[in-house]
Amino acid sequence: MHIMFGKYLGRSIFLTLTCLTFSSLAFAFDSGSTGSDGDFNPQISGQITLPESGILNYRTFTIPENVTISFVPNSSNTPAIILVQGDAAIDGTLDLSGLDGDGVGFVPPAAFAGGKGRSPRLQGGNGLGPGGASGGSIISGLRCAGAGAGYVTSGGRVTSGNVICSNGVRVGSTYGSSTLQPLIGGSGGGAGISGAGSSESFVGAAGGSGGGALLLAVTGNLILNGEILGQGGAGGNLPSGGISGAGGGSGGAVRIVATRLIGNGDINVNGGNGGRLNSDGSTANQGGGNGSPGRVRIEVDELLFDGRVIPASSLSSSAPQPLFLADFPDIRISSIAGVAVPANPTGNNDVILPTALADTSVTIEFETNNVPPGSQVQLLVTPNAGSVTNVLSEPLIGTFEVASTRVEVRLPAGATSLLASVLFAPTEEQIALLQPFTDGQKLVAIEVSQSAAMPSVLSLHTVTGDIFQVPSSIIQ
């Protein structure tokens, strides 16, 4: 959830996967595609505009050699979900790469934007997303650049000359699960610090965005001899005389589910490089932190793939798992200071409040489904720049099916992101519903949360201390 006040103004690691043999000619997996979008076989490069559901239903799906296909995200910023009735072949490029801090264009589906460069002599903007990194600032006399976004690992530290800024710099944290539940993209790197002296007038460089999120489900054979790209965007560079570079975005999420995966292509979810001050790309001076790699999940009955997952540490695999689930616990931020929140927040100025309410205490209301009354909602308030705030709501009032609560909190001036979450013990029915997503481990607690530009997400806590996640984006 994103609000603001006033007027709306590297190095790759390669993996070769073991080849198996066919055990049956019958299709064991069913993508559930209706085929309503026909056969996809473009002859020139272009973009797919995602419908509001984020789901595309094809009969067959082909990207020929030398053809690149990317996406225009929908207003809800859902993942790109491609369901195919028959076979799919990618000899060209399916591109969900993040937006560079120096770039112009769309942040890919289900990804989070990098921190924005701010006016001269101000701290850099924070990157968005669960692994978003802090912007550059001056700490103990050091001019520290924007930090790298996290995902499968923490984001990269930043430098000031040859000194690593380790105190007071918040690198992007790890999040998500190897099961790629939730199916959400990479997070944004922090923006670089702007000019700090009276003669320095540069606006800070923007952070790179995260790579996008893709579910490609193919009933038949998926032949991948081309590439699927979900790299994080590079942090922006500053011109000569500037102060620091920005952080790179983290790589995205690619989940492939098919009867068979064949070919020798690439799946690349590397994080974006941190921005550099020097025009030659050198790492001297105030370099931004590198973004973390993203995640890749391959779920197939038969694996005949001799290609590369980059980096190898991003990969997990299994037999095909369910694409969609039944009803499950949910939470949403319903109103802020009396202003209704959109049903599908995008993470970009979802609510605009009067400037007079800045730095005053306002009421934020929440609604839940299938959460026990009496539970309390925790709210994390993350401003565009500066420290974060954690507050706890009053107990939920209502029924297990529908309940509500509120919290009073002081919101700072400027753009702010909100993350709401609630932790509770599951019912027997919920345990049975969600057990397939915990690798057979006993489920002891559920945490449901809603953040900027993504649907609510379940974090499943098991008796062994492991945490698995399931997003509402796969629930139909």
- Element (H or E) spanning 395, and its range? strand 389-395
CA 58/CA 36 separation, integer angstroms: 6
Q: What is the pLDDT of residues 86-140, one digit of tens each?
A: 999 999 999 999 999 988 888 999 999 999 887 665 678 889 888 888 888 776 6
- Predicted pLDDT of residue 277: 59
- Predicted pLDDT of residue 123: 76
- Predicted pLDDT of residue 100: 95
CA 154/CA 171 separation, integer angstroms: 7
Q: Span 389-399, mean pLDDT? A: 91
3-state helix/strand/coil string of 176-188 = CCCCCCCCCCCCC
- Predicted pLDDT of residue 161: 53
Residue closest to 473 by CA, chosen among 116, 90, 55: 55
Comparison of pLDDT for 229 and 380, the residue scoring more: 229
3-state helix/strand/coil string of 88-103 = EEECCEEECCCCCCCC
Give percent above pLDDT 90 in the chain.
42
**What is the secondary structure of 141-179 as a DSSP string?**
TEEE-PPPPPSSSPPPPEEETTEEE-SS--PPPP-S-TT
- Predicted pLDDT of residue 476: 39
Comparison of pLDDT for 387 and 307, the residue scoring more: 307
Tokens of 464: 């062994």
Q: How many Cα atoms sit within 13 Å of 85 on the Cβ side? A: 12
Tokens of 52: 């509001």
User: Is pLDDT at 336 greater than 60 in this prediction?
Assistant: yes
CA 132/CA 433 separation, integer angstroms: 31
pLDDT band at 322 (very low <50, low <70, confident <90, very high): confident
Tokens of 160: 């000031």
Q: How many Cα atoms sit within 13 Å of 470 on the Cβ side? A: 26
User: What value does the CA radius of gyration of the chain take, rounded to a whole number of Å?
Assistant: 22
Q: What is the pLDDT of residues 226-253, one digit of tens each?
A: 999 999 999 988 655 456 778 999 999 9
- Predicted pLDDT of residue 157: 72
- Predicted pLDDT of residue 18: 32
